[in-house]
A and B are shown apart, each in its own frame.
Chain A
Amino acid sequence: MDIDPNTPIARFENVGLRYGLGPEVLQDVSFVLRPGSYHFLVGPSGAGKSSLLKLMYLALRPSRGLVHLFGHDIATAARNDLPALRRSIGVVFQDYRLLDHLSTFDNVALPLRVANIRESDVKHHVEELLAWVGLKDHMHARPPTLSGGQKQRVSIARAVISRPKLLMADEPTGNVDDRMGFRLMHLFEELNKLGTTIVVATHNEAMVQQLGHPVMRLVDGALAVTPGSRGSAV
């Protein structure tokens, strides 16, 4: 599936989401993510942050409204076209979602292997990235033997290994200390400078204020976007 570099990364128009016959957890959500932008997604627990991220990383389809990712209407996209879109998205899950039976190396290699990349290239890229996130010595360790911070870095490495155009992180600093939290945020800043569009869902208002990026605030399923001190809202 071709992705036009000039089209918005994500465009939501009046998107509503409900689970089964329950109430709408997202109501009339509209926003646009431009290529290379960096947004924080904030809001109280239960406001719908994770649901919004799930719509963005294609784990859910909206109950109503339009969702365009990389210029493709998700409602009409064929199921066979979704893997190509997903390969342009990296996700750092709140609970990491690493595969415990695989080594650190194999977890990080996963996106490359599903894209059928040659094994010699997989080895080269994964080793390089694990060295960059400081986990080269833990390449053969399995996730259950790693600390929270190490798991977080494996999760980030897996999310960025295929150089996604859109990187989403759900509470990436929730399970690590402040020092590690700021290191991870610095990593996202670096990726953003390289052109990756970033969306970080967080409860950490201090960090949001400090970094000064535009903020998408969800309250009771409704979204408001405010400009940050460093960039304009879209």
Chain B
Amino acid sequence: MFARRTDLPLDKDPLSRFLPWLIAFMVFLAALAQTGLIGLDDLARRWDSGMAATLTVQIPADPDANEAVNARLLQSAMNMLSETQGVVRASVISHDKVLELLSPWLGVVDAGDVPLPRLIDVEVDPALKVNTGELQQKLSQTIPGAQVDDHGVWLARLVDMVRTLELLAATVLGLILLSVMATVMFATRTGLTVHAEAIEVLHLTGAHDRYIAKQFASRALGLGLRGGLYGLGLAVPTLFALGHMAGRIQAGLLPEMSLPIWGWASLALLPALSAFVAGLTARFTVMRNLRRML
């Protein structure tokens, strides 16, 4: 499919100088979009599994009741949860942990300053579906104001939003692919025009279209690979810099996003992919255009 030797002076084409940099820019964008896609997919899957496996039970604080009454209500909620089928583990979240979780919004506050509800973190078996409606009803009968939150509504919205962003990233990747193909197609067609006389000589000496196409494909493959490596070389430090900046502002506001090993491997494949797409596009363009000649 590709030729080692070329009879056409393709390396002298002005476009040959710009094509690697155009491809580099597109591979750079593709690397960012692909990283976003992989990170978002990982995040959505984590949220999805988290949604199916946890509940939070909230026991409202009664500032008028004494500590012993509040403790008794909390204990009865814990007893009820331990008797509920499908509940694997239930643990009370300490006041300190609740204050820590609220600190990004409220700042540093003392436990006595605000009436804090008691929270119970419940781990459930996703296989045995807990009937949250029934659990809510049972808790409300004993503890007025108790609430069971399965995070379903807001987590589903978040997952929906992430899936939309994923679709956007995939669309960007598709557009980048189309741009690479269009750029190579344009460069190849220009090359066909520039070298029309030499191509005619090759034809008249008995060259098949595929012989000529191989020469264009090999050139495009080389330029695509070079452009891909340039683009990846620019993308990797950029991703590390973005990761570093994201780590500084995460601090509980953003979920942790990291690229798995296979994600890095897929980025490393981008230069090979850009080379292959460029070579194949050039070959297709040449074959299609030469078919119009005698």
List the interface of chain A (C-beta within 8 A of B). 57-61, 79-80, 82-84, 86-87, 91, 97, 99, 101-102, 106, 110-111, 113-115, 158, 162
Contact = CB atoms under 8 A, between A and B. Distances in A.
Nearest to A116: B211
Given A59-B294, A61-B294, A113-B7, A87 B206 contact: yes
B207 interface: yes
A86 B7 contact: no
Contacts of B206: 83-84, 86-87, 111, 114-115, 162
Given A58-B204, A158-B205, 10 more contacts: A58-B294, A59-B200, A60-B294, A61-B294, A82-B294, A97-B197, A97-B201, A110-B7, A113-B7, A114-B211
A86 B208 CA distance: 10
B200 to A, nearest CB: 7
Contact of A99 (B201, B208, B294): B201
B98 interface: no
Nearest to A115: B206
7 contacts: A57-B204, A58-B204, A79-B294, A86-B203, A86-B204, A106-B7, A113-B5
A19 to B, nearest CB: 13
B204 A102 contact: no
Contacts of B291: 79
Nearest to A101: B9
B286 to A, nearest CB: 14
A156 to B, nearest CB: 14
B172 interface: no
B12 A101 contact: yes
B207 A114 contact: yes
Contacts of B205: 86-87, 110-111, 114, 158
Interface in B257-294: 291, 294
Contacts of A162: 206
Contacts of B208: 80, 83, 114
Nearest to A164: B206
Nearest to B9: A101
Contacts of B61: none
B202 A110 contact: yes
A59 B7 contact: no
Nearest to B291: A79
A86 B202 CA distance: 10
A102 B7 contact: yes
Contacts of A97: 197, 201
B158 interface: no
B198 interface: yes
A103 B94 CA distance: 84
A97 B197 CA distance: 8
A3 to B, nearest CB: 13
B7 A99 contact: yes
Interface in B179-226: 197-198, 200-208, 211
Contacts of B12: 101
Contacts of A59: 200, 204, 294
A115 B203 CA distance: 11
A131 to B, nearest CB: 21
Contacts of B200: 59
A84 B207 CA distance: 9
A99 B195 CA distance: 10
Contacts of B5: 113
Contacts of B9: 99, 101
Interface string B1-20: 00001010100100000000
